Every structure is written in structure tokens, then in C-alpha cells.
Homo-oligomer: A and B are copies of this chain.
Amino acid sequence: MIQTITVKTRGREAFYDITSRVQEAVAQSGVEEGICLVFCPHTTAAVTLNENWDRTVQDDLCLGLGSLAPERRDYQHLEGNSPAHLKSSLLGASQVVPVSEGRVVLGKWQGLYLVEFDGPRERRVVVKVVEG
């Protein structure tokens, strides 16, 4: 069973906390012990784990990534979103997290985020839980 979470992103760049929706997907899978793949089927967005408490961390991450992957005049891709493609590969299209007692086991300060780099768009996140 593959489950899909849909996120309507609003601005050009932002973090969207999908932790509770991933927990729901794991509960629906019926798997008690195993691992969970949280996969983003887009090339200008990413899935990452980071702090779930102080929202300024998300803003700081966007700021830092902006300096890492700025616009450049020598980029050739005509859509003009090469920085978003680079950020997607840097953070990665997916995360794999442990599942125990029917729940995703994250650290106390960790949340799972869809990160939009070229919004606003409607994005999907695929959740696949494997028993083991």
C-alpha cells in the first residue's frame, strides 16, 4: 500500500510540517515494526528532518540555502529555477525513518518537512511503510 499526502504550498519557499500526516499513514498501514519511506516525487522540492520547536530554524534554513544556491547568470535551464533543483538534490527527495509500536520514531526535536523551493504549487508526498 502506497499512501499519498497532498500539500498546497503558498509562497515560493517554505517548510511544511507533515509529521502528523505521516504518523496517520503509518497507523493506516497497520505495520507495527519496520521502516517508513517518505518520498517526494518532485524535482524542485525536498523532504527533510529538522527542528520542530522554534520556527525561526526553518527561516534560517531557507536563508542559508539561498546563499548556498543563489540565482546565477550562467545557468542555462530556461525555466529559471535551477537553484530550486539544486536545493532539492542537496536536501534530498526522501527520508527513511524507523517505525516501532505502530509509530514513526523521531527524536524529541525532530519533525518531518516537505520543503518547497519553487512554489506555490500542489505537491505530493508518497509514504510507504515496510514491515521488518
Report A's interface with B, CB cutoff 8 A.
1-2, 31, 33-35, 37, 39-43, 48-51, 54, 56-57, 59-61, 63-65, 67-69, 72, 74-79, 82-83, 85-86, 88-98, 100, 105-110, 124, 126, 128-132
Contact = CB atoms under 8 A, between A and B. Distances in A.
Given A50-B89, A60-B85, 13 more contacts: A35-B130, A39-B96, A42-B107, A43-B49, A43-B50, A43-B107, A56-B78, A63-B72, A67-B72, A93-B95, A98-B128, A129-B132, A130-B130
B89 A91 contact: yes
Q: Is the interface of A mostly helix, strand, loop or mixed?
A: mixed
A1 B5 CA distance: 28
